[in-house]
Amino acid sequence: MPEMAAESIDTGDTGVDYANLVRELVEPLLDAPDALRVNCEYAKNRQRVLIRLAFESSDQGRVFGRGGRNIQAIRTVVETAAVLAGQAAHLEVFGSQERDHPRDENGRRGGDDRGNEGRGNGGRRRPSRPPQPRSASSDAG
């Protein structure tokens, strides 16, 4: 696991404790919660925050979830808290191949970050087909 700087619990002027928020959301998913590391880094104007998350690689599948649904839900909660505080937040999973989603038990990868998980076809887009012309007889009915 990569080394990270000491944990930050500075909430700044906003009152949002991003480190504890992320910890509360991620810890229940981990087999090794003691390995969880959360680091928050604020921009100078405190309008943006970068949250880095690290954990044992054996917990990666549980944190990301099928098709990346778990990590996307965690990001949504963090980003919503930031918006309510007048900030922008970005959650980065440290030391993980996030774009290469974990494979399921059949060796298939989950969906991608563009929201294609719910397509029912493994996140793949269907090839586009040109529109079919209508026949005159079907419109006469």
The 10s digit of each residue's pLDDT in 5-62 is: 444 444 445 578 999 999 999 999 999 999 999 999 998 888 999 999 999 999 999 9
Structural domains of the chain, ranges and CATH numbers in brackets:
1-112 (3.30.300.20)
Average pLDDT, the chain: 75
CB 71 within 8 A of CB 51: no
Are 14 and 85 within 8 A, CB to CB? yes
- The C-alpha atoms of residue 74 and residue 80 are separated, in whole angstroms, by 10
pLDDT tens digit sequence for 38-47? 999 998 888 9
Task: For residues 127-138, give the mean pLDDT.
Answer: 65
Q: Output 64 or 109, whichever has higher pLDDT.
A: 64
Is pLDDT of 90 > 50? yes
- Residue 124 is predicted with a pLDDT of 53
pLDDT at residue 115 in the model: 44
Contact 41, 7 (CB under 8 A): no
Burial of 68 (0-12, 13-18, 19+ CB in 10 A): buried
Host H or E run for residue 48: strand 48-54
How many angstroms separate the CA atoms of 39 and 86, rounded? 20
What proportion of the chain, given as a percentage, has pLDDT over 90?
Answer: 50
Question: Any bridge partners for residue 48, and if so which?
Answer: 88
For the whole prediction, is pTM greater than 0.75? no
